[in-house]
Structure 1
Amino acid sequence: MTSELLDQALIEEATKKSGLIWVRGAGAPAARALWHVWHEGAVCLVGDGPGEQPLPGLTDGGFAEVTVRSKDKGGRLVAWPATVSELAPGSPEWEAAVAELKGKRLNAPDGEEMPRRWGRECRVLRLVPAGSSAPLPSDDLAERPLPSPATTRQPIPAGLPRLLARRRKGK
């Protein structure tokens, strides 16, 4: 009993404090780094819509493996199994989860319109811990980033080092 309570406390505290978690859905080839919120005993995620994070392998009624990192050092703290449920748009649970998620969503293109867009075009998922913590994965979980219009892999402009050096001399 005490071991289960300690596991639950570790899962909750680590997940609350981490800005990213790695989630591997059933059948997904690799874990994905996802932003989230901890709300009422579960992880809440939004995605699978235009401009939002993809949620591969996460299906309503399915299972997922969640790995949580340390916010300070970035190392793995705890891994835990989860059951996945999709929240119905407009339901009280959906409204509560979206209110929490909205505060954590960075760089949203549509501000106050965002919850309505999520209701039309995205999925809001709830990942509930299903049992005690699991052994940490032995592999490194490193994956090459997926292609995205949000990433740029271009050399820095030629004049940037001189500009930065000039700013440092001026201080």
Structure 2
Amino acid sequence: MTSEPSGLLDRALVEEATKKSGLVWVGGPGVPARALWHVWHEGAACLIGDGPGEQPLPGLTDGGAAEVTVRSKDKGGRLVSWTARVAELAPGSEAWQATVAELKGKRLNAPDGEAMTDRWARECRVLRLEPTGTTAALPEGSLAEPPLPSPATTRQPVPAGLPRLLLKKRKRG
């Protein structure tokens, strides 16, 4: 059996880079890329979202396509961009349970602790982003853009006492 060496290298790069990076940038057709946490499980990047308190997954539909960009965990630079087929897992299925077990271990600051898997089954979507084998050439420029609007980012006035507290610490040192 013969295979194209660059295809194997691309697949290995996608898997290793995605496994090591806790954050990937994912965009769907007509939807700008968004930073999402994930786990690599059984050959795909797995995501949980679209429920209360979870990350939004706009533009990712079952059977659709997505563009995934992986950054370096060390330097934060772009390592590889790859195309994925989106598969939504049915709550309670064997594949869903195995994937949720992996996601549960990586979910930080869950508001409901051990009950989160029940909430995920009721209110969220679990997606697998399965590599299609296609990688994109890395762009020349930075592609930097302002952050997308989100209810998680709020601007509050600086507390009145904060400048004094900060100045006191500088004077001591």
TM-score by length of 1: 0.91
Unaligned runs of 5+ in 2: none
Distance 1:59 1:15, change over 3 A: same
Look up the match of 1:121: 123
Identity across the alignment (%): 72
Look up the match of 1:18: 21
Which of 8, 32, 37 is the matching residue for 1:5?
Answer: 8
Deviation at 1:100, TM superposition (A): 0.8
Distance 1:122 1:141, change over 3 A: farther
Deviation at 1:16, TM superposition (A): 1.0
Unaligned runs of 5+ in 1: none
Look up the match of 1:72: 74
Pairwise CA RMSD: 1.7
Look up the match of 2:62: 60
Residue aligned with 2:157, SS: coil
Task: Determine the C-alpha separation between the residues in 1 that align with 2:26 and 2:144.
Answer: 11
Task: Determine the C-alpha separation between the residues in 2 that align with 1:19 and 1:119.
Answer: 23
- Amino acid of the residue matched to residue 154 of structure 1? Q
Q: For residues 48-91 of structure 1, give each alpha carbon's deviation from its aligned partner in whole angstroms, at most 9, with x where no partner exists.
A: 11111111110101110001111111111100000000001011
- Amino acid of the residue matched to residue 20 of structure 1? L
| Stretches (4+) displaced over 3 A | 164-171
Task: Determine the C-alpha separation between the residues in 2 that align with 1:141 and 1:49.
Answer: 28
Distance 1:115 1:64, change over 3 A: same
The more displaced of 139-148 and 39-48 is: 139-148
Contact 1:31 1:141 in 2 (8 A): no
TM-score by length of 2: 0.90
Look up the match of 1:36: 38
Distance 1:158 1:145, change over 3 A: farther
The more displaced of 100-109 and 75-84 is: 100-109
Look up the match of 1:51: 53
Q: For residues 107-149 of structure 1, give each alpha carbon's deviation from its aligned partner in whole angstroms, at most 9, with x where no partner exists.
A: 111010100100000000000000132112456152433231x
- Amino acid of the residue matched to residue 56 of structure 2? P
Q: What is the aligned length?
A: 169
Distance 1:92 1:108, change over 3 A: same
Task: Determine the C-alpha separation between the residues in 1 that align with 2:88 and 2:14.
Answer: 21
- Amino acid of the residue matched to residue 121 of structure 1? E
Look up the match of 1:99: 101
- Amino acid of the residue matched to residue 25 of structure 2? W
Task: Determine the C-alpha separation between the residues in 1 that align with 2:52 and 2:82.
Answer: 29
Deviation at 1:97, TM superposition (A): 0.7
